Structures are given as C-alpha cells and as structure tokens.
Amino acid sequence: MTRTVFDNLIGAALLGAATLLAPAAQAQAPYPNRPIRLVVPFPAGGATDIFARAVSQKLGEKMGATIVVDNKPGAGGTIGSDIVAKAPADGYTLLLATSSTHSIAPSFGGKLPYDAVGDFTPISHVGNAPSIMLVPNSSPAKTVKEWIAYARKNPGKLNYASSGNGTVVHLGSEYFKAQAGLFLVHIPYRGTALAIPDLVSGKVDVLFDSLPSGLPHVKEGRLRALGITSARRSPLLPELPAISETVPGYETVTWFGLYGPKGMPADLATRLSNGINQALQEQDVKDRLARLGIEPVGGTPQQFAAMANADRAKWKKIINDRKITAE
C-alpha cells in the first residue's frame, strides 16, 4: 500500500469518526444553548401572565438563556398544561402552573388530558397569592372573631360571594365555613369584580378576594378587611391579621409553580430551581410581585412536589366532604 493511499484511508476513517461523534457532541452541548419556552396556560395580560414575565426575565439572566413566554389559554388552563405534558423533557419547554391547574381541577375527578402528578416534573414553588376577607362597612363585625360570632347567631341568613362554582374563591369560602362551623348561603358570580357592588351595598355579607382586586376598595374606604388567608400575616400587608389567628389551621392561597414534562433529568430541574431561587431574591422582582399581591417562595423540587401533593389532598377532601361541584 502506497503512503498516499494509506493517508487517504486514515483521513476517511477520521472523518467518519468525526461525523459519528458530532450528534453526540451536539446533544451534550451545555444547557441551555437555545431559547427556553415558558408556557402560560392563561391569557396575556392576566395576573399569571404578568407574573410569568416578571420572573422569566430574571430567570433567563440567571440561566444565561432567553426565556420566551408563550400564552396558551383555554379550558381553565388545561390546554397549555397539556402542551407541556406532551413536550420533550429536555428543559426547553416549561409550564407556569397554578393551584387551579394542578390542585383544584384534578380534585374534581373529571377527565383531564394530563395526569397532574405523573405527567410533570416539579421544579419550583415560585409564589403564593393570598386573599383577604372583605365585608361591607355596614357589617357589625370589626374582626374575624366578631364576624364568626355574628354568623353563628344568624345561621342561614348570611351569604358569601364567589367567582363561580368550583373556583378557588368558592372552595376557600367553603373551607372557611367548615373550619368555623358556619351556615352561609353561596352566591356565585362570574368573577369577584362583579360581586363588589353588591358587597359594598350590603347585599353580600362576605367575599374572599385577591389582594390586587380587593385592597383598593379597602384603601378607598368602601369596604372593610378583616383578615388574610395566608397561614401567617403577610409581609405584603403586615397589619392585617391572618384568619388562622382566629380559625387555627385555616389557609388558602393561589400558588404558582414551575413544572417541566415528566422525565426531565434531575440535574436540569435542580439548575432551574436554583435559578428561580436566585431570581426571587432580586429586589425588583420582589417589588413587581408585591404589586401583584404575590409572595415569593422558592425552594427545592422536592419541597414543591410535597406542597402540591398536600394541597391537592386538602382540596379533594373539601370537595368530597362539602359535595361541591364545578357546575
């Protein structure tokens, strides 16, 4: 064999080896090496969307990647959630879920296109949005304790408003009824904003509303706030007592969490979780979340999974015990 032929054979062999190794090298390129898609299963401009954009920018900076928010609303958040459930588990498609999509909807027992536990990889518990207990200025009660005593003296005569059957406002109110031992009549509205005029006029006796929606009416002197639904007093409103100070164990919040599809490598979930934790420490992120009435949380994927499982079990028990339906 001449040297020229030998050199050509060696060159061909090396080229072939390089061709075979190229896909493997590309597959092992450091994560992330392209934009990350963050699916928000609710419309643009809503609280979840604004929250996603507030957090995603800083998360992208921490991860060294561009994060693109992709709104996929519909069917109470199930359409966007299902898109992520069926996406590749490579860390490039994520979901900003809420207690509505991953705690409450699965607890009603209806058929969802995804398994809220088995089809997702927990990454991080990003934030909580507590509600406040609002009553008319004409209410004789100035505290949660006084309101409970007033309701017990008038069983079946007082009512509460909600944003509709099966919503977190409905379930949280029923939970309050159960914990406090009250008999209240449910009046469902198509959103809490529509209930506010009737609450102000005294036609409605109590409403558990979100901070951004309800607090302005308190500050304007149109309504009275008695308590907050977080387990402890909120740094967003430290002067307002927690309802749990009067009704031990009572807590209801809308949580926000980051998921990936099932099968995501643990190291990717941990990296994203660490990125979220760092982003939540940024003061401008804290300020933006405070304006949305959201408390930053953070933590590990394991802590997030445990919280979501406990929350799901709580709502399932309340739904079953109170015989609540979503219709």
Instruction: Give tens-digit pLDDT for 251-291.
Output: 999 999 999 999 999 999 999 999 999 999 999 999 999 99
Any idea which architecture 130-245 has in CATH? 3-Layer(aba) Sandwich (3.40)
Residue 13 — pLDDT band, cuts 50, 70, 90? very low
In one-letter notation, the amino acid at residue 46 is: G
Report helix angle 266-280 to 47-63, nearest 10. Answer: 110
In one-letter notation, the amino acid at residue 237 is: L
Q: Are 159 and 241 in contact (CB under 8 A)?
A: no
| Pairing mode of beta strands 206-210, 159-162 | parallel
Joined together, the tokens standing for residue 277 give: 């934790």
Give the C-alpha separation, 1 to 37, whole Å: 56
- pLDDT greater than 60 at residue 44: yes
Q: Are 91 and 36 in contact (CB under 8 A)?
A: yes
| Number of Cα atoms under 13 Å in the Cβ half of residue 97 | 36
Q: Tell me what the mean pLDDT of segment 172-198 comes to.
A: 96
Give the C-alpha separation, 318 to 217, whole Å: 30
Give the C-alpha separation, 255 to 289, whole Å: 13
Do domains 36-129+253-322 and 130-245 share one topology? The answer is yes
Condensed to tens digits (0 to 9), the pLDDT of residues 123-138 reads: 999 999 999 999 999 9
| Number of Cα atoms under 13 Å in the Cβ half of residue 208 | 28
Q: Which residues are within 8 A (CB) of 100 and not within 5 positions of it... i.e. 6 or more apart?
A: 76, 77, 167, 168, 254
Q: Which residue has the tokens 């008319």?
A: 136
Q: Are 58 and 17 in contact (CB under 8 A)?
A: no
The pLDDT of residue 11: 44
φ/ψ (deg, to 5) at 152: -70, -30
Domain ranges of the chain: 36-129+253-322, 130-245
| Pairing mode of beta strands 206-210, 120-136 | antiparallel
- pLDDT greater than 70 at residue 292: yes
Give the C-alpha separation, 166 to 156, whole Å: 21
Could you tell me which CATH class the domain 36-129+253-322 is placed in? Answer: alpha beta
The pLDDT of residue 327: 76
Exposure letters 183-209 (e unless 16+ CB within 10 A, then b): ebeeeebeebeebbebbbeeebbbbbb
How many degrees, rounded to 5, is the angle at CA 167 between CA 47 and CA 191? 60
Task: Answer with the residue of higher pLDDT: 7 or 165.
Answer: 165
**Furthest C-alpha separation in the chain:** 107
Joined together, the tokens standing for residue 226 give: 């008695």
